[in-house]
Amino acid sequence: MGRRVIEIDGVSKRFELSSHGTSLKERFVHRERARAEQFWALRDISMSVDEGSTVGIMGRNGSGKSTLLKLVGGILKPTAGTVRVQGRIASLLELGAGMHPELTGRENIFMNGAILGMPKRELERRFDEIVEFAELEQFIDQQVKHYSSGMFIRLGFSVAVNVEPDLLLVDEVLAVGDENFQRKCLERVRRFQRDGRTIVVVSHSADQIRQICDQVAVIDHGNLVALDDPAVAIRVFREHLLEDELDRRARSEAEERPSQSLASEDIVDRVDEPVSAATHGAAQEAKRNLRVRIAGIEFDYAHKDERRYLLPGEALTITVRYTTDESIDDIVIGLGIFEHATGRPIYGTNTDILGTPLTTVAGAGQVTFEVSFLPLLDGTYPITVGIHSHDEATVYDWSEQRTWFEILSPDRTSGLVWMPVEAKSSGA
Amino acid sequence: MSTRLGTIGTTGPETAFAPDVALRIVAPRRTFREHVRDIVQYHELLASLIRKELKVKYKNSVLGFAWSLLNPLLYLAVYYVVFDLLLGSAITAFPIFLLSGLLVWNFFATSLIAGTSSIAEGGSLVKKVFFPREVLPLASEGAAFVHFVLQFFVLVVVMLVVRWNVDIRFVWLVVPALAVMLLLAAALNILLSAVNVYARDVKHLIEIVLLAWFWLTPIVYQWGLFDSRLGRRGLNWIVLLNPVTSVTLAFQRGIYNRTTASDGTTVLLPGTSALWYVRNLTIVGVVSALLLFLAVRVFDRLEGNFAEVI
């Protein structure tokens, strides 16, 4: 028999945006303008969460997902509507909240535990476990100001997960500490799940959401746009991202930017991890003499009209169109595929390697790269196209990670590479 | 646009909250009663925060807690030199007179100064964790109160050493006076801490106000100074508009307990019965309670965006 843990009923949140300070004079001077700068972070959200489920909240930065988590945690009050929560909440919104650098680790455990609402007696009972989990046995009576940042985070996390909450709120903090500690954190989240506790995770990492959540809510511009299985919700999330991307592309085209390319900062802005500096590519781009120009890069796949992403294992055709005013015989067209999150090249080839060397080109033409089976999982994959001489000393044109395709996986597989795998079991 | 997409979980829409467990309701408004209930529920956090404030204050200082005892003694030395030795105050046993009013004033002032900025300086605590925010100003007051108790203990020791006589008919006034002081300080702390989040001027303003307030309260000088100027015109009630005066007078009557100076004519304290003091304290107590109610209402309106403004 499950029971209700969270009930969000018609919740809206409005912020007054004030860029100016908080002194009386400034308030007085800016009071007209302040009235105009209102912003609805959330609009009429209703949903409920039952005991034992792990719910993900996805959305871009500024979509309102963290605001929703703060309302559930009671840190902010809604402008309208109510949030009802039953049971003890521990939030990993901020690890080590209220800890004071002048106090020792021991004193801070009690401080932090009290803030998270744990009775002192219970804290005393679990004290050893907390210290052990944080791996701080030797340092527990030292002032926290002498701790490294890693130690501080471990201590905070350890208290948070050991207060035995009924509801755990997590805001993208599973990426703290070293790898070993991260694994421990994930294990602890899984133990919570096995114990039938309720978890709400805010993230924009589809991988993380897919790994731990049963259900996902997608927030876009303050509206709840999906509440579904991870696979479906993540697709909705991506679609909203792409929607925005197209809007932006349309806008930037209106501003007369080169039509074939998106500026690379758009990519950076869109997904939060930075593109690693492609120094080789940047150098090549700088060298281009434009005797042959890339006229367009196009993607073709089976359901292009219905969706803006591919599924793992689908076929993809990449068409590179070029134009030149001369006749050039020393020419190679190269293709590179990158993983957006890390900037790592995952595939590189060119017309020579593929055994279809180009002969003399003149005027306009095109080369198609046909990928019959795309063995990739979720993600954004920028591509690089280069047109250069055989020895790469002359670069005619180069487009470094300015276009990309997206892959959405319908199942919960995680990682980078998609391959057909079957599990078989046999009795013992 | 309304987005009602249903329930997450395995049990379907008929699931309900458990009937026997307290619900935390996050709504645009909470009633006074709910505020009080939440604060009581978080009394352990309040205690922890008070402990923390005390520990942190004297961490790494050689004298530690001794500072909070030295502080009033230093005040005493300065006022003694200026008022008793230089200006020749008419008050006999000036140190006892001064301390009986000064300690409770110090509690009031330090609690207000710390309390006013407590939420604005609450930092990550307010931004990231749920708890009734009133706990912060109340913790500042609690820490100030602990200091007061220590200092008061020193005063008691001094009184025992010099064999100071107190009158059993008046000494109990200290207890209701203290209760009223705690209530008034709580009301002001809750009000000012919330307002200060939105207008940081309050923090600076309160320091100046407290300075004026201190000199308008008969602590360093005697009540009789007012009485001799205003009493003749029947205006000495004006002095009692200052709520702290009622409190310090009760303290002075309870501890110092001399209504006239040794010259026999200078009035130090009202020579009225204890009832007069109780009446004043009752009025201040009722006003403070109303102020507390108002303060919580204002707090309720302002607290919704603390986490964003700080």
CATH number at residue A331: 2.70.50.60
Q: Within this chain, do residues A283 and A192 fall inside the same structural domain, yes or no?
A: no
Query: For B178, left (φ over 0), alpha (ψ -120 to 50), or beta?
Result: alpha
Cβ atoms < 10 Å from Cβ of A288: 19
Residues 291-310 of B with CB under 8 A from A: 303-305, 307-309
Q: How many structural domains comprise chain A?
A: 2
Which of 366-395 (A) contact B at CB < 8 A? none
User: Which of B4, B7, B127 is facing A50, going by the closest CB pair?
Assistant: B7
Determine, yes or no, domain membership for A257.
no
The answer to whether residue B31 neighbours chain A at the CB level (below 8 Å) is no
Report pTM. 0.72
CA-CA-CA-CA torsion sign (B255, B107, A119, A84) = positive
Q: Is A185 helix (H, G, I), strand (E, B) or coil?
A: helix
Per the domain annotation, does A172 fall within a domain?
A: yes
Closest CA to A50 of A189, A172, A192, A200: A200
> Residue A396 has which token pair?
């005619």
**Contact list, A48 vs chain B (CB under 8 Å):** 6-9, 15
Are both A219 and A304 inside the same structural domain?
Answer: no
A53 at interface of B, judged by CB pairs closer than 8 A: yes
A22 touches chain B (CB under 8 A): yes
The answer on A268 and A226 residing in a single domain is no
Q: Which amino acid is at A410?
A: P
**Is A160 an 8 Å CB contact of chain B?**
no
A28 lies in some domain? no
| CATH number of the domain enclosing A51 | 3.40.50.300
Q: Helix, strand, or coil here: B198?
A: helix
**B307/A75 CB distance under 8 A:** yes
Residue A256 lies in a domain: no
A70 in a domain, yes or no? yes
Domain stops at, among A230, A254, A272: A230
Asked which of A210, A230, A250 is the last residue of a domain, the reply is: A230
Q: Are residues A67 and A140 in the same domain?
A: yes
Indicate whether A332 and A183 sit together in one domain. no
Among A352, A357, A363, A303, smallest CA distance to A327 is for A363
Based on the domain organization, do A276 and A169 belong to the same domain?
no
Task: Give the Cα separation of A252 and A267 in Å (integer).
Answer: 13
Cβ pairs bridging A and B (under 8 Å): 191
Give a yes or no: residue A174 inside a domain: yes
B14 touches chain A (CB under 8 A): no
* Residues in chain B within 8 Å Cβ distance of A86: 17-18, 21-24
Is there a single domain that holds both residue A214 and residue A302?
no
Residues A274 and A186 in one domain: no
Residues A219 and A287 both lie in one domain? no
Do both A315 and A173 map to the same domain?
no
**Looking at chain A, which residue has its C-alpha nearest residue B57?**
A102
Among B11, B45, B117, B129, the residue to mutate for chain A (most A Cβ within 10 A):
B129
Any domain includes A236? no
Best probe of the B interface among A7, A91, A115, A171, by most B CBs < 10 A, is A115
Task: Tell me which residue in A21, A22, A86 faces B23 most closely, judged by beta carbons.
Answer: A86
How far apart are the C-alpha atoms of A170 and A56, rounded to whole Å? 9
Q: Rounded to an integer, what distance in angstroms lies between the CA atom of residue A73 and that of residue A67?
A: 10
User: Cα Rg for chain B, rounded, in angstroms?
Assistant: 23
Q: Tens-of-pLDDT digits for all 428 residues of chain A? A: 468 899 999 999 988 765 555 555 665 665 555 555 678 899 999 998 988 899 999 888 778 888 898 899 888 889 999 999 988 887 766 666 677 888 888 988 888 888 777 788 888 999 999 999 888 888 899 888 888 877 888 888 888 878 778 888 887 655 555 677 777 777 878 888 888 889 998 877 777 788 788 899 999 888 999 898 888 888 888 778 767 766 766 666 565 444 344 333 333 333 333 344 456 777 888 888 889 999 999 999 988 877 778 888 899 999 999 999 989 889 999 999 998 877 889 999 999 999 999 888 888 999 999 999 999 988 889 899 999 998 888 999 998 888 888 887 777 777 889 988 999 998 76
Indicate the helix (H) or strand (E) that contains A285.
Answer: helix A279-287
What is the extent of the structural domain holding A41? 4-20+34-230
A71 and A220 belong to one structural domain: yes
Indicate yes or no: CB of B17 within 8 angstroms of CB of A48. Answer: no
Among the listed residues B144, B139, B189, the one whose alpha carbon sits nearest the alpha carbon of residue B291: B189
* A403 in any annotated domain: yes
Q: Is residue B39 within 8 Å of residue B138, measured between CB atoms?
A: yes
8 Å CB contact between A410 and A305: no
Which of A45, A111, A223 has the CB atom closest to B48's CB atom?
Answer: A111
